[in-house]
Amino acid sequence: MKIALVGYGKMGHIIEEVAKSRGHQIVCTIDVDNPQDFESDAFKSADVAIEFTMPSSAYNNVKKAFAAGVKVVSGTTSWLPEHRDEMERLCAEGHTLFWSSNFSIGVYIFSAVNSYLAGIMDKFENYDVAMDEVHHCHKLDSPSGTAVTLAEGILARLSRKGSWANELAPLGEVESFKTPAQGDALQIFSYRHDEVPGIHTVRYESDADRIVITHDAKSRRGFALGAVMAAEY
């Protein structure tokens, strides 16, 4: 398979490594210094583009890929809700976009466990729920796209919560299991420090005990593998 990489930072390099190890060819890499290459023959020859960039540029990147006739796998968070209607229209017209807030297979499994647990906890109103997410200090969005997806999974199954609210801790503050405020909103506590690839924790608190489930990414490789598998699909 011929793959174009849109975004050639840390994730882009790891995706390149994983893709080559699975027998694929990288035909084009696009970053901030060569956006004109969306119009190149090399980019147009790609079977699919894998896009990991910034929320501010993802929409235009996808549109440029579509204009070149290239399918897109996008792992950039916090841009799709604003443009969902247009993306659905473009895909109905024949373009292809495979987007996820997190391509890690482990996170997919964790998400299923999270939804199942929320359904159980709906019967036990003495437990309040909160979420903690920890990422590297370069991450700009808060909460993470994965945290939002997990929160939506909880809200769909836990009737006593109707929305989520985010609190971003000062840069460098370490996860501390803050006490959630009682109320309708599911609280998400966000922490940014060091080079943490991503930790997501969902916890149910009562006066008697705490139930905790956690996904702790050891590296970015799991995200890269999932994105390449999505491109293969």
Instruction: Write out pLDDT tens, residues 217-229.
Output: 999 899 999 999 9
Q: Is the pLDDT of residue 89 over 80?
A: yes
pTM: 0.81
Residue 200 a catalytic site member: no
What mean pLDDT comes out for the span 136-152?
A: 91
Q: Is the pLDDT of residue 208 over 80?
A: yes
pLDDT at 118: 98
Distance CA 42, CA 86 (A): 27
pLDDT at 227: 97
Residue 139 a catalytic site member: yes
pLDDT at 120: 98
Residue spans of beta strands (DSSP E) within the chain? 2-6, 25-30, 48-51, 71-74, 97-99, 128-135, 163-168, 185-192, 199-205, 210-216
% of residues, the chain, pLDDT over 70: 100
pLDDT at 172: 86
Comparing 4-8, 56-60, 67-71, 136-140, the range with the smallest average pLDDT is 136-140
pLDDT at 92: 97
What sign has the CA pseudo-torsion 10, 165, 107, 86? negative
Distance CA 20, CA 232 (A): 13
Q: Is the pLDDT of residue 101 over 90?
A: no
pLDDT at 180: 80
Q: Which among 95, 135, 200, 215 is annotated as catalytic? A: 135
